Amino acid sequence: QQPVQSPQAVILREGEDAVINCSSSKALYSVHWYRQKHGEAPVFLMILLKGGEQKGHEKISASFNEKKQQSSLYLTASQLSYSGTYFCGTRRIGAGSYQLTFGKGTKLSVIP
Amino acid sequence: DSGVTQTPKHLITATGQRVTLRCSPRSGDLSVYWYQQSLDQGLQFLIQYYNGEERAKGNILERFSAQQFPDLHSELNLSSLELGDSALYFCASSVEPAGDLETQYFGPGTRLLVL
């Protein structure tokens, strides 16, 4: 029940926008977004709860479409520091523990 | 800095050997999760402990085991190591029972190289 992320990789020039999607075949309670720089720990960005609420973090925001069980991460006016691999982690409704299942990641490269 | 600590940072060992990875969760967090990340791969959930008890099990090999101690630190034991066990091993922690907005915070990881 691993969520599916798309695209697998994307290259942007500074200032361009990008959207990363995370889809699940299971009903989700929440979606958690992380960014990981090469060789470092994943860093928490934001959490989306079922209900379609949109959250923002500076120029990075996300939404959760409960009908589609899909979350999208929006990066606007990208900066070099946005480069890294973005992972979504999903928590299923009815899951007994607080376990997150992660997608395979989307590698984002921002170039000057 | 997430507040989760892991030791050692790097570990080089030979096939067939046994190693122990250590994790200290954030202050106040009762749950510890272990993940394996192979080269350019996603995060594979191994096992979760909550307040000393095993809570959930993922794709953990029988050669691997973990425990959480009364002071809440956790250890992941990897034995009969194979070349394919070379990976980054992350520990994460969270408060549980978790509120709606609680998430997992990752430690810096232990890079294991099996030669």
pLDDT in tens, B80-113: 999 999 999 999 998 866 566 678 899 999 999 9
Whether the CB of B31 is below 8 Å from some CB of chain A: the reply is yes
Interface touch B55/A41, C-beta < 8 Å:
no
Q: In 10 A of CB A35, how many CB atoms?
A: 21
At A56 the pLDDT is 63
Q: Which of A98, A102, A107, A109 to mutate to test the interface with B (most CBs of B within 10 A)?
A: A98
The predicted model gives A49-66 an average pLDDT of 77
In one-letter notation, the amino acid at residue A93 is I
End-to-end CA distance of chain B: 31
Asked if residue B70 has pLDDT above 80, the reply is yes
Closest chain A residue to B46, measured at CA: A99
What pLDDT score was predicted for residue A109? 97
Q: Which of the four pLDDT bands, split at 50, 70 and 90, describes residue B36?
A: very high
* Cβ–Cβ contact B49 with A under 8 A: no
Q: Tell me the sheet residues that pair with A75.
A: A18, A60
Q: Which of A45, A110, A61 is nearest to A83 (CA)?
A: A110
Task: Give residue for tokens 């997992």.
Answer: B104
Query: Does the pLDDT of residue B55 top 70, yes or no?
Result: yes
What average pLDDT is seen over chain A?
89
Q: Which residues of A touch B99 (CB under 8 A)?
A: none
CB pair distance less than 8 Å for A44 and B104: yes
pLDDT (0 to 100) of residue B99: 62
User: What average pLDDT does range A59-73 have in this prediction?
Assistant: 90
A97 pLDDT above the threshold of 90 = no
Count how many residues are written for chain A. 112
Cβ atoms of residues B75 and B20 within 8 Å: yes
Residues of B in contact with A84 (CB under 8 A): none
Q: How confident is the model at residue B69 (pLDDT cuts 50, 70, 90)?
A: very high
Cα nearest neighbour of A105 on chain B = B42
